[in-house]
Structure formats: structure tokens, C-alpha cells
Amino acid sequence: MYANPESESPPVLVSIIAALLGIILGAVIGACAGFFAGSVIADATDMSCFEGACGYFALFIGLAGLVVGAIAGGLFAVWRVNRRKRKPAA
């Protein structure tokens, strides 16, 4: 990009669509990984399931994974779209 200032960046709409898809896909992957990690941690630590404590713990970890995954997915998607080889400006 800096070596060739005449190169053209992708349209803003492409970046917006990539960000939305990255956020959605990242959130789904992060939530699934978080729910799985939360349930494994709850089982490994012999957490009490009295009144659903182990379930609430897994839910909390899953929601944290959802947020982290959505942010990381959106950033990665925008970075990936803007990183691709650019077409020369006409």
C-alpha cells in the first residue's frame, strides 16, 4: 500500500459487509468455544451445580467468548479485506 500510492483500496461497502460477517461468525465460534470451555472448567473443578451454579458459570464464560469472538472476528475480517492485493488505479 505504501510502496505504490496509486493502488486502489476496496470499496467501503466491502469492508462493512466483511465486518458484519466477521462479527457474526466470530461471535458464533466464540460462544461455542466459551460454552464448551465453561462446561469443561466446571466439571474439572467439581463446581457445585446447586441451583444451577455450574450452568450459570458456563453461560457467563460463553457470553464472554461471544463478545471476544465478535470483536476479534470483526477486526480480522476488516484486516483481511484491506490486506488483499490491490488493483492498480486506472
pLDDT digits (tens, 9 = 90+) for 14-53: 889 999 999 999 999 999 999 999 999 999 999 998 989 9
pLDDT for 86 equals 60
By the 8 A CB rule, do 82 and 9 touch?
A: yes
Separation in Å, CA 47 to CA 32, 52, 53, 60, 61: 20, 10, 8, 14, 14
Provide the mean pLDDT of the chain: 88
pLDDT for 6 equals 55
pLDDT for 83 equals 82
Task: Flag whether pLDDT at 64 surpasses 90.
Answer: yes
Residues in the chain: 90
pLDDT for 10 equals 77
pTM confidence score = 0.78
> Per DSSP, what are the bridge partners of residue 88?
7
C-alpha radius of gyration, the chain, whole number: 20
pLDDT for 54 equals 93
